[in-house]
Structure 1
């Protein structure tokens, strides 16, 4: 029997965990498979092992892993496969495949442009955008964010689009925020490139609120998980409309 195991990042934030659960509950209603479970890589239960075991207890013989991750960094390339490896070894008769993370997709960039438009239209040529990524030491992440920044710039017609990171890459969020505030002649629009609320988004909100005391024309958009297109992508992955690869090979 076919099962879907969704894997979120996990968070110490109750609001973030609740958002991930609500998001997945909404997806589950639109996916055809009878066995569907949500699990988390860290900080939140159920764990990947608990979610995997739950699928087996419901009679799963074929499990598709659907990671709720925007980009392919260390968690996708290393941590999730490492967590799955002993489970796959323990249950060699269970077929396990893993869908890709979302990656840089035109429709995600369209969704971000729409979110920004709702929050900040009309735009001025003097406006600036700061995209805030989670961050990773994986160089492919910075390449991805370069593409994301270009795509947002093209869609919104704003030339000044910059990227910063909350961890493990530079410039840091604080450096990026300070720099754009010093140079901007128009409004500043801050886009957190995060799926759900959590401690990272809380940190962004706190710093933006502090900056508002000095720079009044600064706006912050919401997390990306609120947009329907993100849910649509997960539904497609769960329904097998995108290619999945053997989890053991990741």
Structure 2
């Protein structure tokens, strides 16, 4: 008589989503830290089943290393989303090194990094909203726009900023859209403002290409004030940064839902 062995119980399938760590650049500007905290709240509302924490690469607390250690001790896994629009130094070096260091300290843990945010359609929509609010009653086709980026030693990051300006031009109906940089590379913001002014432009919107308040938009305001002082007939309006908004929260949530499995990318060598 043949006896059928009972089937073994099915293996337990983990149902809890791993915690999410939002990685900020870090800033000494309190408004920027407050905006990052508010974004985390928006992401929690979209992902109520996920623990969401914030860690910073520099200049602010809690540091990314500390948050990674806490999460991996308590949960054994984490998804890491850089709150960074372009592939600059923090994306290529700072975040991967922190992830690699955490994995070395917690050998049995799983760390799932995602790519930087880039410029998906929701963020393009948010930029148009900020420009529209700044230009107010000015017709789009009578408005010149400057996309003001930080500037980087990373050529890809600079190229992404220039590409975004083209996308904003083709999708916004503005008279012109040009790129400017605040540091390291050119053309700088005063150069582009002078170029617009020399061509007869008197209605200009400067859009700081930043997720949160910080040194970038502070520099933009200072440079615009200096230009206004010597060109009083030019109307220059400064758009708000993208800030904590539904569009940005949705992009972060999408990165989290689509987080790939597998090892973290190795840190890229520093560029000289």
TM-score, length-scaled by structure 1: 0.90
Contact kept in structure 1, 2:21 and 2:54, CA below 8 Å: yes
- C-alpha deviation, 1:34, in angstroms: 4.3
Q: How does 1:39-188 map to 2 (within 5 A)?
A: 39-57=55-73, 59-120=74-135, 121-123=137-139, 125-188=141-204
Greater shift after overlay, 29-38 or 124-133? 29-38
Contact kept in structure 2, 1:190 and 1:218, CA below 8 Å: yes
Query: 3-state DSSP class of the match of 1:102?
Result: coil
- C-alpha deviation, 1:126, in angstroms: 4.0
Contact kept in structure 2, 1:113 and 1:156, CA below 8 Å: yes
Contact kept in structure 2, 1:35 and 1:60, CA below 8 Å: no
- C-alpha deviation, 1:114, in angstroms: 2.3
Partner of 1:191: 207
Aligned mates of 1:160, 1:188 — CA distance in 2: 9
Aligned mates of 1:132, 1:43 — CA distance in 2: 22
Partner of 2:264: 247
Greater shift after overlay, 8-17 or 78-87? 78-87
Partner of 1:38: 54
- C-alpha deviation, 1:245, in angstroms: 5.8
Aligned mates of 2:120, 2:52 — CA distance in 1: 25
Query: 3-state DSSP class of the match of 1:194?
Result: coil
Structure 1 gap segments, 5+ residues each: none
TM-score, length-scaled by structure 2: 0.83
Larger radius of gyration, structure 1 or 2? 2
Contact kept in structure 1, 2:146 and 2:178, CA below 8 Å: yes
Structure 2 gap segments, 5+ residues each: 1-15, 268-272
- C-alpha deviation, 1:71, in angstroms: 1.3
Contact kept in structure 2, 1:186 and 1:217, CA below 8 Å: yes
Aligned mates of 1:228, 1:32 — CA distance in 2: 15
Q: Deviations over 1:24-50 (max 9, x none)?
A: 122223224443210000000100111
Please report the RMSD computed on the Cα atoms of aligned residues, expressed in angstroms. Answer: 2.1
